[in-house]
Amino acid sequence: MNRFFTDASLSGNTVTLTDETVHHIKNVLKLREGESLILIKNQKELLCNIDKIEKNSIIVSVVEELDSSSENPYSVTLFQGIPKGDKLDFIVEKAVEAGVSRVVPLKMKRSIAKIEGKDVPKKVERFQKIAKSAAQQCGRLTIPEIAEPVTVKQVDWSSFDLKLLCYEDEKKTTLKEVLEQLECPQSIAVVIGPEGGISEEEATYLLTHGFHAVSLGSRILRTETAGLYTLANLNYRFSR
């Protein structure tokens, strides 16, 4: 069933939609009066019937609140070294599906692509729309935040309980070994390098700020794969 996030207010058991959702329901999905949809409001899923479709609004009535528990018992922030091309679009979409709470593009020494200046607001807005669409599609109750790009030295790393540096030069400690030793943390930071990897200077800085350097196995993963691999392992270890 089609799902939509909304900030519209409830009036009794009625909600009037007036945002871009109206166009999507009317002209893209071509839903009709009498059909059903799900609204996500305040991290709750509401099963609704479409009562009336007007030119610039749609009125729906709430039938029932659904029992939903799609969010993880922990929050995870993916700090992704900025990759080339449109790879970050893919990473954002799939990370949201995998349960990420926040995605922060990292400006790293070996990043070839740049997100800076007047491009920042436009790019972040685009990524946020991708995150919203992915969250609606996969059954999330929240829309993960996409932050503006930062460097490793601009982040307050002290706010995370578990910090994972996925580092191609780590040859001894594996992600599996670290996760097996832990109970479920409240907040997790995952750092993934760009195509050229993480520089020694960046790795040293992160290791002095409480990071575990971990190997993701004997094969070198692409930057767009490494974060998703890590999120999948976190889900396997800590999810309900």
pLDDT confidence band for 70 (50 / 70 / 90): confident
Q: Of 140, 133, 130, which is closest to residue 45 (Cα–Cα)?
A: 140
| 48 and 80 housed in the same domain | no
pLDDT at 37: 95
Q: Which residues lie closer than 8 Å to 154 by C-beta, 6 or more apart?
A: none
Average pLDDT over residues 132-142: 94
Where in the sequence is the domain holding 101, given as residue range(s)? 75-238
Greater confidence, 234 or 171?
Answer: 234
Q: Of 50, 52, 47, 51, which is closest to residue 62 (Cα–Cα)?
A: 47
Average pLDDT over residues 176-201: 95
- Please give the mean pLDDT across all residues of the chain: 94
pLDDT at 19: 84
Between CA 240 and CA 231 the distance in angstroms is: 14
The structure's pTM equals: 0.91
| 82 and 181 housed in the same domain | yes
Q: Of 87, 83, 41, 89, which is closest to residue 66 (Cα–Cα)?
A: 41
| 20 and 119 housed in the same domain | no
Query: Kind and range of the H or E element at 88?
Result: helix 87-97
Distance of alpha carbon 3 from the chain centroid: 17
Between CA 234 and CA 28 the distance in angstroms is: 36
| 218 and 141 housed in the same domain | yes
pLDDT at 98: 96
| 152 and 100 housed in the same domain | yes
Whether the pLDDT of residue 239 is over 90: the answer is no
Whether the pLDDT of residue 240 is over 80: the answer is no
| 124 and 198 housed in the same domain | yes
Between CA 233 and CA 239 the distance in angstroms is: 10
pLDDT at 67: 85
Helix ranges (H only) for 98-174 are 119-138
**pLDDT tens digits, residue range 141-184?**
999 999 999 999 999 999 999 999 999 999 899 999 999 999 99
| 106 and 14 housed in the same domain | no
Average pLDDT over residues 137-144: 94
**pLDDT tens digits, residue range 198-221?**
999 999 999 999 999 999 998 889
Average pLDDT over residues 57-83: 93
Greater confidence, 128 or 11?
Answer: 128
| 43 and 129 housed in the same domain | no
* CATH, residue 14: 2.40.240.20
Domain count, the chain: 2
Average pLDDT over residues 109-137: 94
Torsions phi, psi of 95, nearest 5?
-65, -40
pLDDT confidence band for 94 (50 / 70 / 90): very high
Greater confidence, 70 or 171?
Answer: 171
| 96 and 123 housed in the same domain | yes
